[in-house]
Amino acid sequence: MTTRLDLIDHANHSNGLSRRTEMTRMGVTDNVTQTFGCDVFNERVMRQRLPKDVFKRLQRTIKHAEPLDHELADVVAAAMKDWAIEQGATHYTHWFQPLTGTTAEKHDAFLVPDGQGGALSEFSGSALVQGEPDASSFPSGGLRATFEARGYTAWDPTSPVFLNRAGGGVTLCIPTAFVSWTGVALDHKTPLLRSMDALSEQALRILKIFGTDQGVNRVMCTAGAEQEYFLIDRSYYFDRPDLLACDRTLFGAKPPKHQQLEDHYFGSIPQRVIAFMVESERELYRLGVPVKTRHNEVAPGQFELAPIFETANLACDHQMLVMETLKKVANRHGLECILHEKPFAGINGSGKHLNWSMATDTGVNLLDPRDDTHSNMQFLVCLCAVIRAVDLHADLLRASVASASNDHRLGANEAPPAIMSIFLGDMLTDIIEQLESGSPKSTMRGGKLDLGAQTLPQLPRHTGDRNRTSPFAFTGNKFEFRAVGSSQAVAWPATVLNTIVAESLDFLATQLEKSLGANPSEAKLQQVVKSLLQKTVKQHKRVIFNGDGYDKAWHDEAEKKRKLPNLRNSVDALAVVAAKKNVDLFKKYRVLSKVETESRAHIYIEKYIKQVLIEAETAALMARTLVMPAAVRQLGELAESVAATEAADVDSSELREELEEFNELTGSLRTAISRLEKAIETEIEGEHKKAVHLRDHVLTAMRDLRGVVDSLETRISQDLWPLPTYREMLLIR
């Protein structure tokens, strides 16, 4: 007899052979050093294909943010076209990131009729630099009316053009910004690039003060986003309407075995998953994505992929490619990749830790403490700028990760709390305390760790532990923003980080410039810097916390004593986006105009409303059309058993009690469905009030309904239960 698993194994085997054949055809080998970036029009390809003067001018635009010379466009476009066609490309597209949280593309063929019955391949500089998609069909928060359709995509030369191989075809993808006809930003990339400019401008002032700006043209923010995800068998995915519509399960009883044995984290990776990971990595390597780490995560069926961090703009683009590639490759292996923050209740959800730092274009990391950190005043200024930024703008930082899906994870004992605090570790905390007291005099050393066995080496010991409960943790030479959701595009939180740190760098640079005057001595520089840092630490140290972020005592202390904001849900968090101080902040640093900021507040709360309503309507429909019929059938079988038992003159008291209990539970199901449907149908005027209603009433009704459904799952016969269970889905075979 052929089982479903036999079919899966056969399909995977066949699929593996076909994929190997395809990858051979594409020229893919196991030598990643040869294949890395081979589908990217990168610096190496540009050097080979562009005239020397054109190459140099384009590199100045890419590396030093010099204005793009439009005269270069035709030459660059011709080289791109020839390279792409040689790789099998037939179309090109402007690849952009609208405010949907996904990417968008419209494909145009290189082919044009020659007027003589034949065709030519054509790709002009104007087609490279500017495209024109429909701007009215994307969320705009009131920036565009339905009838105002024109929008522009503008080539971003700082993010390399790449090839997308899919469905047997090849498309040249051009990363672009997306703006309205009037130049208003309709995407994530445009404000990100603006925030990077703002950060660079203010950081350069700090370098100039310390005399370390020689040869530095730009300070870049760097980033790397760790991606957590779940994998389940695709056959189960299509049998779950909630996964199809919502990317998470709305019902599901906890299985007897899940993560309680703590045996999945860093465990042996299943062979089927390894095959998927290897192919995903191969495709990402071809696209120049520097993925580095793969491993099992805490929950069964949960995994992680992490890259080496790079410039923020490129990292954000690469993160979108990572998500797309994981989904695409998973399907080839008979799997479904789930990126939702909490696809399964009762086990760990998924996050996306955003590793963030600042570096000069000469390769100096401004957040690298180096030796004798206590005397590295430039580092301490940059560190205190971040501390000040997080303290002053904790509300905006929290809002940058707000979503209906992240609400299911954030604040639980698997993710950082919604209170934005900073973990510095023992060494930096000690220096901060020294700064507060006056002049820092020493740097704590980590020393060596003796493991007690002669065959084991002594290990260099860090000066502090890591803290997985902190939302914003210093991890050696960067900060790790741990509150970002796994399904989220990281460009928005990166934009917020860049902007708030730019504001703090601006503030500190202004204070230092005023106090130092022209040509200050080294002694005066040290004195003025220490004095300013001492004041900054005293004002903003409240945001530093190295303890257990899950501890209720910390929450009480943070709110009551330290007066830190605790925006527990997205409705509260998103309400602060368009606050005057945040509008003024974005406007001052030319990241977002007033209307652009207000539009995003509108879009994000609108998305919250739509997402919750989709989930609520799906839950009600599943409960009424799938769960209720199963419950009725189970009730009928129990009634028949009671009747047969009594007819046989056998004691049926226990069986009748079971029937009565199940009948009561079925009645509770009817009540819970009706309550949810009524909550959904309630008309509420105003976006904020509607969001509050959904949070307080609809989500509550959904939780109540889930409680009943999950109880029924544990009592209804397996042959009658209409949905794949957690026990089935979380074990990859």
Task: Give the separation between CA 436 and CA 538, rounded to whole angstroms.
Answer: 6
Strand ranges, E, within 268-344: 291-296, 302-307, 310-311, 335-338
Nearest one of 423, 358, 18 to 432, comparing CA atoms: 423
| Residue pair 354/494 in contact by the 8 Å Cβ criterion | yes
Q: Which two tokens stand for residue 458?
A: 């002594």
Task: Give the separation between CA 25 and CA 28, rounded to whole angstroms.
Answer: 8
Instruction: Order across the sheet with 310-311: list the strands.
Output: 310-311, 219-225, 354-360, 479-481, 472-474, 422-423
DSSP 3-state of 17: helix
- Burial bucket for residue 702 (CB in 10 Å: 0-12, 13-18, 19+): buried
pLDDT at 112: 84
Beta strands 479-481; 472-474: pairing state: antiparallel
Residues paired with residue 119 on neighbouring β-strands, in sequence order: 113
Task: Give the separation between CA 702 and CA 617, rounded to whole angstroms.
Answer: 10
How far is CA 729 from each of CA 271, 298, 301, 338, rounded to the nearest angstrom? Answer: 17, 16, 8, 12
| DSSP, residue by residue, 683-701 | ---SHHHHHHHIIIIIHHH
| Residue pair 415/347 in contact by the 8 Å Cβ criterion | no
| Residue pair 543/395 in contact by the 8 Å Cβ criterion | no
Q: Which two tokens stand for residue 600?
A: 């995003």
Residues paired with residue 307 on neighbouring β-strands, in sequence order: 291
DSSP 3-state of 536: helix
Task: Give the separation between CA 228 and CA 482, rounded to whole angstroms.
Answer: 12
Q: What does residue 686 show for φ and ψ, rounded to 5 degrees?
A: 95, 135
| Residue pair 496/400 in contact by the 8 Å Cβ criterion | yes
Task: Give the separation between CA 269 and CA 288, rounded to whole angstroms.
Answer: 25
Ranges of the chain with pLDDT below 50: 1-29
Q: Which two tokens stand for residue 271?
A: 């062979």
How far is CA 188 from each of CA 52, 175, 670, rounded to the nearest angstrom? Answer: 33, 12, 44
pLDDT at 3: 39
Q: Which two tokens stand for residue 466?
A: 């890591």
Task: Give the separation between CA 306 and CA 142, rounded to whole angstroms.
Answer: 37
Q: Which two tokens stand for residue 173?
A: 């993808």
Instruction: Order across the sheet with 291-296: list the strands.
Output: 291-296, 302-307, 227-233, 335-338
pLDDT at 442: 80
Task: Give the separation between CA 175 and CA 157, rounded to whole angstroms.
Answer: 8
Q: Which two tokens stand for residue 24?
A: 């051979």
Q: Which two tokens stand for residue 626?
A: 């799938």
CA 364 to chain centre: 26
Q: Which two tokens stand for residue 467?
A: 């803290």
| Residue pair 662/640 in contact by the 8 Å Cβ criterion | no
- Burial bucket for residue 413 (CB in 10 Å: 0-12, 13-18, 19+): exposed
Task: Give the separation between CA 509 and CA 513, rounded to whole angstroms.
Answer: 6
| 130-147 as b/e: b if 16+ CB within 10 A | ebebebeebbbbebbeee
Residues paired with residue 351 on neighbouring β-strands, in sequence order: 485
Q: Which two tokens stand for residue 457?
A: 């080496």
| Residue pair 466/546 in contact by the 8 Å Cβ criterion | no
Q: What does residue 348 show for φ and ψ, rounded to 5 degrees?
A: -60, 140
pLDDT at 463: 59
Task: Give the separation between CA 459 and CA 449, rounded to whole angstroms.
Answer: 5
Q: Which two tokens stand for residue 67?
A: 């204005």
How far is CA 387 from each of CA 58, 534, 566, rounded to the nearest angstrom? Answer: 37, 13, 17
Torsion over CA: 717, 720, 725, 729 (sign): positive
Task: Give the separation between CA 172 and CA 88, rounded to whole angstroms.
Answer: 10
In this prediction the pTM is: 0.92
CB atoms within 10 A of CB 401: 28
**Chain length of the chain:** 733
- Angle CA 661–666–671, to nearest 5: 125
Task: Give the separation between CA 468 and CA 481, rounded to whole angstroms.
Answer: 11
Q: What does residue 663 show for φ and ψ, rounded to 5 degrees?
A: -65, -40
- Angle CA 106–112–115, to nearest 5: 155
Q: What is the chain's alpha carbon radius of gyration, rounded to the nearest angstrom?
A: 28
Task: Give the separation between CA 122 and CA 576, rounded to whole angstroms.
Answer: 48
Question: 118: which residues sit within 8 A by CB, 6+ positions away?
Answer: none
Residue with tokens 């000040």: 388
Residue with tokens 């990168």: 42
pLDDT at 449: 60
Task: Give the separation between CA 663 and CA 639, rounded to whole angstroms.
Answer: 10
How far is CA 258 from each of CA 291, 300, 550, 593, rounded to the nearest angstrom? Answer: 28, 6, 22, 48
Would you put residue 133 in left (φ > 0), alpha (ψ -120 to 50) or beta? beta
Q: Which two tokens stand for residue 519?
A: 């040509």
DSSP 3-state of 226: coil
Beta strands 119-121; 472-474: pairing state: unpaired
Which tens digit of pLDDT belongs to each residue from 184-235?
Answer: 999 999 999 999 999 999 999 999 999 999 999 999 999 999 999 999 999 9
How far is CA 95 from each of CA 69, 105, 109, 128, 164, rounded to the nearest angstrom? Answer: 21, 5, 15, 11, 10
